[in-house]
Structure 1
Amino acid sequence: MQHAQYPDALCPGDHLVSPRPGYSHHGIYIGNNTVIHYSGLHRNAVSGSVCEISVDEFHAGFGFRVQNNKGRYQGQEAVKRARSRLGEDKYHLLFNNCEHFVHWVLHGKARSQQVNNALIGLTTVVLTGVGRWALKKYRGSERV
């Protein structure tokens, strides 16, 4: 995690990740100690908009790191893409969250590995439960 002297080490277009209980928050550093992000869950809300905030507001005491995933769009081009969505208020936890936004800014395609991992985990739990139920049902029918 980075804390002190981070503005000197950050470059416009950097992908910032701040760990939170149960998820990670994502934003794009645009220079001058400022981040553009999809606010959403950032302040325990279920909706939000794309906005500019300070780096300190972004990490909210949880710290942050720079995600090294150089995309198709970097530097000022990434900043321009992030700014193009300022004010957008179409946040959706599963389909348009802060990670989707950052991935779109850098790679041109919205995606969220956190959502993918959660859906895989949920599918595994459901399929395990269905499998156990079916096995119990099958074993019960053998006794008849």
Structure 2
Amino acid sequence: MSDQPSIREHNQRLLDKLEPGDIVVFERRVYDHHAIYKGDGKVIHRAGDDGASGWSHHNSTCSGYGVLSDKSKIQEGDFWKVANGCRARNNNAELDCKYPPREPKDIIKAAEARIGKREGFNLFNNNCETFVNECRYGKSESAQGDLAELCLTAGVTTVVVWVAALIGRFVSRNRIEKNKTTQ
């Protein structure tokens, strides 16, 4: 038997310690979903029209390549429903050392003021992480979005370099063949 608590036990311990205004991160397989803890087991987050914050949300509203989608809005939801079996963690420490957080009541007020608003979604700069950072710090930042953009840029760069190398090799071979036939 493992000494590790189950995800549910872990999340219950976290929920017992959360304070209003805390950033909660739900660890999905490929990405993290961010929310503001409101209190009483409720979170405020950017989600799909159906309230989903998992793959169904991102399959319908993910907008890579900088295209904004309008299929997400700010919603209040139950912690357990948003967790959806995933491990959660408090993520205040990531930016609290960089920016002073607003007062909890001001964080909640900022988040509540946006409930029901269709603010769109953009993988790089208008996602669930930017939403919570705007509410807590007044800063629109997304480390996850920056990483996705970096990976996309690196991937595109790799393809461009590979294609250039292939073209260079083809041109070089043609020159060699041309030189052989003229000699």
- For normalisation by structure 2, the TM-score amounts to 0.72
- Alpha-carbon distance, 1:6 to partner: 3.4
Corresponding residue of 2:137: 107
Question: Any residues of structure 2 matched to 1:29-44 within 5 Å, and which?
Answer: 29-40=37-48, 42-43=53-54, 44=56
Corresponding residue of 1:63: 87
Whole-Å separation in 1 of the counterparts to 2:31 and 2:15 = 24
- Alpha-carbon distance, 1:141 to partner: 1.9
Corresponding residue of 1:80: 109
Whether the 8 Å CA contact 2:14–2:90 is kept in 1: the answer is no
Q: Describe the SS at the equivalent of 1:127.
A: helix
Match status 1:132 vs 2:162: yes
Whole-Å separation in 2 of the counterparts to 1:116 and 1:32 = 32
Whole-Å separation in 1 of the counterparts to 2:135 and 2:42 = 16
- Alpha-carbon distance, 1:80 to partner: 1.2
Match status 1:123 vs 2:127: no
Q: Describe the SS at the equivalent of 1:4.
A: helix
Runs of 4+ in 1 over 4 A off after TM superposition: none
Whether the 8 Å CA contact 2:130–2:142 is kept in 1: the answer is yes
State how many pairs are aligned: 144
Corresponding residue of 1:14: 22
Q: Describe the SS at the equivalent of 2:26.
A: strand
Q: Describe the SS at the equivalent of 1:131.
A: helix
Structure 1 residue identity aligned to 2:40: N
Structure 2 residue identity aligned to 1:133: V
Change (3 A) 1:6 1:141: closer
Corresponding residue of 1:49: 73
- Alpha-carbon distance, 1:91 to partner: 2.2
Deviations 1:70-127 (A, max 9, x none): 2431422211111111111122133422111001111212222222111111111111
Corresponding residue of 2:3: none
- For normalisation by structure 1, the TM-score amounts to 0.89
Structure 2 residue identity aligned to 1:51: Q
Q: Describe the SS at the equivalent of 2:72.
A: coil
Whole-Å separation in 2 of the counterparts to 1:32 and 1:72 = 21
Whether the 8 Å CA contact 1:7–1:32 is kept in 2: the answer is no
Whole-Å separation in 2 of the counterparts to 1:7 and 1:127 = 43
